[in-house]
Amino acid sequence: MRPYKVYKVQALVTGDHDRRRIFCRWLLDQQQRVPGFIEHVIWMDESTFTRNGLWNRRNTHVYSEVNPHAVRQTGHQTRWSVNVWAGLFKNRILGPVFLPQRLNGQRYLKFINEQLVDILDDLSLAEYRHTWLQHDGAPPHVVRLVRERLNELFDDRWIGRLGPHAWPPRSPDLTPLDFFLWGYVKERVFNRECDSADEMRQRIVDVFDKLRTDCVEDHTMMPRLHEEMQNRAQICLEMNGAQFEPHLIRPRRI
């Protein structure tokens, strides 16, 4: 017997396997019918950055000739969090956009009418006609006014809960924001403690700027990410819609 790593995966409920299979089959069919379809989707998501950040005690060590009795403070009485929106589209990193801490349908609609519309205005008419949008099924995303506005902007070219093309719930392993972007950003933002929410916002902006520079210098980064998405959809089908990340051949370095 040999020791093997235990993976932490999103729990699924009854019906999720079917929904994940339906979406992955549709995505691969679209990619085959329209080459480059995946890169024409605005993949977007929100994430919360908290003061405590990321810390895995089992993987954190301090090397020294004598015990330095290193500590890390936690459980602060003064707490804050920052809610951030970001997106991936073609070879572009979109965001960050800082959203209200408590996001509801009206605030999300305001974001669409202001920041998202500005992004769409930068597209040519021909490019806009082939642009899709994806977001998950968070409660602010599914209110009626938001869905009506997305229908006005994209017709049936958007993916989400209660939308023309359903997004499978509880599927962070299928969206590049979750399996790539947020991990990349948070690992660098939380490499040291932030003393204020303003410092955290500035550090988030700096990390996004650095990522944009990396994309310019390594022009294969985004194509490899699109390839990884297609690969994950295929493996999800092979696993009959179940969690599949432990069965990836190797961790893909984007």
> Which residue did the predictor score with more confidence, 75 or 91?
91
**Domain count of the chain?**
1
Interstrand relation of 132-134 and 158-159 (parallel, antiparallel or unpaired): parallel
**Can you give the residue range of the structural domain that contains 121?**
16-49+78-247
Cβ atoms < 10 Å from Cβ of 167: 21
Burial class (CB in 10 A: 0-12, 13-18, 19+), 82: buried
The model carries a pTM of 0.88
CATH number of the domain within which 112 lies: 3.30.420.10
Tens-digit pLDDT profile for residues 91-110: 999 999 999 989 999 999 99
pLDDT of 69: 55
Would you say residue 5 lies in a domain? Answer: no
Would you say residue 110 lies in a domain? Answer: yes
Give me 129's structure tokens: 């006609």
Mean pLDDT of 133-151: 97
Tens-digit pLDDT profile for residues 43-60: 999 999 998 765 455 445
Mean pLDDT of 9-13: 92
Among 46, 63, 38, 241, smallest CA distance to 130 is for 38
Would you say residue 4 lies in a domain? Answer: no
> Which residue did the predictor score with more confidence, 64 or 83?
83
Residue 13 has pLDDT above 80, yes or no: yes
Mean pLDDT of 191-207: 93
Would you say residue 168 lies in a domain? Answer: yes
